[in-house]
């Protein structure tokens, strides 16, 4: 297995290598939603899963990206895809952000940045880089896009998923 727990540094596990396209998602990889419910990514098999990592709640780019994913959420669901936004902020921040903009996309907390790091998403100064990871219905990493546009990434990801349906 390429995702090995090597030890800890300041209480955070270190991993030998980030997951790559084709790797199975480890059963232990999980994040919490704003209701403190644990979402295990390996348990989401049978559907496409879009994980979009963003730097900070209620900032211009992150807000436009979250609004666009929310606007397109029904289209994602029609093709059998679930969408989650992830950042290092806590549940209360996510609740306020979702309420303020009536966001439909569930937001998950990756407080220690370990989910981000497992997928090779950079965490700097406590914030994730703007990346998208797609998990296949088989529970494997299907796509990793780094440094995506907040405005265009939701529609680009939707188009990519629709193209996979034709294969």
List active site positions. 62
Nearest C-alpha neighbor of 76 from the set 153, 10, 12, 154:
154
Q: SS3 for 85-135, per residue? A: EEECCCHHHHHHHHHHHCCCCCEEECCCCHHHHHCCCCEECCEECCEEEEE
Residue carrying structure tokens 């979009």: 52
Q: Which residues pair with 31 in a beta bridge?
A: 39
Q: Are 33 and 107 in contact (CB under 8 A)?
A: yes
Phi/psi for 12 (5° steps) reads -105, 135
Q: Are 67 and 33 in contact (CB under 8 A)?
A: no
Sign of the four-CA dihedral 95, 97, 100, 103: negative
Q: Are 145 and 131 in contact (CB under 8 A)?
A: yes
């Amino acid at each position: 297995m390429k995702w090995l727990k090597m030890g800890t540094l300041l209480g955070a596990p270190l991993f030998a290598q980030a997951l790559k396209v084709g790797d199975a998602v480890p059963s232990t990889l999980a994040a919490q939603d704003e209701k403190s419910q644990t979402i295990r990514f390996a348990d989401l098999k049978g559907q496409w899963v879009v994980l979009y990592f963003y730097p900070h709640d209620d900032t211009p780019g992150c807000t436009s990206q979250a609004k666009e994913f929310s606007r397109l959420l029904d289209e994602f669901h029609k093709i059998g895809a679930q969408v989650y936004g992830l950042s290092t902020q806590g549940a209360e921040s996510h609740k306020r952000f979702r309420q303020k903009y009536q966001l439909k996309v569930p937001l998950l907390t990756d407080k220690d940045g370990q989910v981000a790091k497992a997928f090779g998403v950079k965490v700097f100064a406590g914030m994730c880089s703007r990346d998208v990871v797609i998990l296949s219905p088989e529970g494997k990493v299907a796509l990793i896009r780094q440094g995506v546009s907040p405005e265009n990434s939701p529609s680009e990801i939707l188009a990519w998923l629709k193209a996979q349906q034709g294969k």
